[in-house]
Amino acid sequence: MIKSTPVSKLLQTKCQNYQITNNVPLFKNILHYLSEGKHFISIFAFHFLSRQIFMIKITFPDQKIKEYPVGITGLEIARSIHPGLARAVLSVTVNGELWDLMRPINQDATVIFHKWDDEEGKHAFWHSSAHLMAEAIEITFPGTKFGIGPAIENGFYYDIDPGDDVVITEKDLVKVEQKMLELARSKEVYIRKEVSKSEALKFFTEKRDNYKLELINELEDGTISFYTQGSFTDLCRGPHLPGTENIKAIKLLSIAGAYWRGDEKRKQLTRIYGITFPKKSMLDEYLVLLEEAKKRDHRKIGKELELFTFSQKVGQGLPLWLPKGAQLRERLEDFLKKVQKDFGYLPVITPHIGQKELYVTSGHYEKYGKDSFQPIKTPSENEEFLLKPMNCPHHCEIYKFKRRTFRDLPLRFAEFGTVYRYEQSGELHGLTRVRGFTQDDAHIFCRPDQLKEEFLKVIDIIFIIFKALDFKDFFTQISLRDPDDDEKYIGSDENWEKAESAIIEACEEKGLNTIIEYGEAAFYGPKLDFMVKDALGRKWQLGTIQVDYNLPERFELEYVGSDDKRHRPVMIHRAPFGSLERFVAVLIEHTAGKFPLWLSPDQVVIMPISEKYVDYAKKVLNFLNNCDIRSLIDDRDEKIGKKIRDNELKKIPYLLIVGEKEAGSNEVSVRKQGQGDQGTMSLDEFAEFIKNEVEKQMQFS
């Protein structure tokens, strides 16, 4: 008779998991050792048996295959390759799924290891840090209830409810940080446990955490797991680090309010943001970068340069473009209009509203109606309009204006169309998240055999924009269907395969640095997103190209083919800027407000050294304006040194100093933003100099 102990139970369970039965002679020895209480010998026998008899094949990224014992962990595989790898690796992808390093692998698998430089590695690191912060908060503020705590692009956050009578302040963050460091140094281990739904509900009912109970009730039994480190247990799918010892540097960054599950009708929770690193030097570098990002904040610079503003009376998320900002925006529009004309686009204009039925037909109302501005009623009964959430339904109706044949295609309709989408107030952020914005929208209607060529031409347009605005560091993301869930997509498999192949082939032909994300396609077709890194290395999504078979079907768009039969066109959605608001925000932060000369609202400021030379300054101003050089005069009664400093802060590219010498020789003394004295030039020489610099910047073909 085997005495029931935790060890004996564990071994018997593992024997069942690995299908070790009485047919294996050594199994009888395990049972014998267990019956005599010889746990150490039985454990040794079990490991010897399972690892000798049951082997699995592990395939590495270089397609090399190696056999390992069943139940081996990702960390053990890494250690078998090199101890250095085991120290550096943070998570592992097993058969396409991101896993903890300590999860046993019980079947043949393909594995990819992730270090700090990989997004998957950072994800595990910061997700584990969110749990560490939650443990520290629970110790510091007993009774706190927890919402969600994900890893984000830079760090992590946790939404918490400390109780109605508790307010967590910035000062409290220092205490939580110190507790996190203390816990991290104690080398806590992250332990995964799969639990039944009833177990999960029981645990959090006893803990009185209604937020976790709500989440659990939405999960399927058999898909639920807990993670425990130290005294803290959380509902979580993972993955996590093996332990806390790698978390060496911690900074809790800010506190904000966040409605539970993003619903303004639910309780507002406290959201705490933080970031951690495996080295203190990395945290120090990040904090320096953070300070630089604050200096480059487009909201701050936009105000200083008088580009845009917001008004509570006008409404949240509705930007007001000031004269200098409007001029900058117009130049961007004019630039793209010229490019589009060269590529055969036709301008169209559509209204800011449309009948509700238009968006019901397109499918936008069904998908986004609840989260959009609500219908506008009119004096006529049953007549309802919506603020335009998309331009594409309007463009479909323009296509239907008359009969089309195969000879008419491709048709390229372009519009700088303002659209309106309701963003919750807590999600609004300067120009990057607004409720009214203008898209550089165009829709191409083409034959299936023209799809790839048109796609390539759109990529060319995006290249032109990036070159003109000095976005050198970017990659592309190809978003395809989820192969395991085709219910959320519209259209035939054949059309999807054609569209996906066209995008992949176009990217290969252009030699693009691409990543493929499955499950990220729009419901109507695959897409290509351009991800730009700014001067601080931050990623922004700018420019998108989407292939659509859905809207032509919904709007019954047709063309007569060469066979005299009716066919459906393919539709390409494209917006190289994305939206002008977001693009300008990114451009401001990328350049710190020091725009390229061709785009700068003010290209030149003329600074007379005293009131005596204001008349000559006006003569210079008139000359430059006649040369289409955007100029202004700073005729304040200030010393020239102060004028130089003030206008440097205004990011004006060129500063011209005029005094007795310059007035006498019909010249200007030239200073360049950030580069100082450029010498003296005649007016003609300076005008030619500016013209040449602009032409050089605009050589994009």
Catalytic residues: 392, 421, 439, 441, 443, 527, 573
On whether the CB atoms of residues 583 and 542 are closer than 8 A, the answer is yes
Q: Are 5 and 36 in contact (CB under 8 A)?
A: no
Query: How many Cβ atoms are within 10 Å of 663's Cβ, its own excluded?
Result: 18
CA nearest 120: which of 89, 143, 148, 95? 89
Three-state helix/strand/coil letters over 258-317:
EEHHHCCCCCEEEEEEEEEECCHHHHHHHHHHHHHHHHCCHHHHHHHCCCEECCCCCCCC
Q: How far apart are CA 37 and CA 32, in angstroms?
A: 9
Q: What would you measure as the largest C-alpha separation in the chain, in angstroms?
A: 113
Interatomic CA distance for residues 463 and 471, integer angstroms: 9
CB atoms within 10 A of CB 615: 10
Residue bearing tokens 């790698």:
246
Q: Which two tokens stand for residue 116?
A: 């700090």
CA distance 472 to 450: 29
Strand order through the sheet with 527-533: 346-347, 411-420, 436-446, 570-575, 539-548, 527-533, 474-480, 514-518
Alpha-carbon torsion, ordered 272, 275, 281, 282, to 10 deg = -150
320: amino acid identity, one letter: L
CB 466 within 8 A of CB 531: no
Radius of gyration (Cα) for the chain, nearest Å? 32
> Is there a contact between 18 and 70 (Cβ–Cβ < 8 Å)?
yes
CA distance 333 to 519: 33
* Rounded CA separation 518/628 (Å): 49
Question: Residue 682's beta-bridge partner residues?
Answer: 667
DSSP letter at 245 equals T
Q: Using an 8 Å Cβ cutoff, are 491 and 524 in contact? A: yes
Helix (H) or strand (E) holding 145, with range, is strand 145-146
Beta strand 151-152 pairing with 104-105: unpaired
Tokens of 52: 């000798």
Is the sign of the CA dihedral 188, 191, 196, 197 positive or negative? Answer: positive
| Sequence-ordered list of residues with C-beta below 8 angstroms from that of 517, at least 6 positions apart, any chain | 477, 478, 479, 480
Contact 99, 91 (CB under 8 A): yes
Residue at token pair 């999600």: 427
Q: How far apart are CA 467 and CA 317, in angstroms?
A: 30
Tell me the C-alpha to C-alpha distance, in Å, between residue 589 and each of 301, 323, 352, 656: 8, 20, 30, 26
Report the candidate in 414, 406, 397 with the shortest Cα–Cα distance to residue 447.
Answer: 406
DSSP assignment of 530-541 equals: EEEE-TTS-EEE
What 639-646 contacts at long range (C-beta under 8 Å, 24+ apart), as own/partner pairs, is 640/607, 640/609, 643/607, 644/607, 644/671
At 419, which helix (H) or strand (E)? strand 411-420
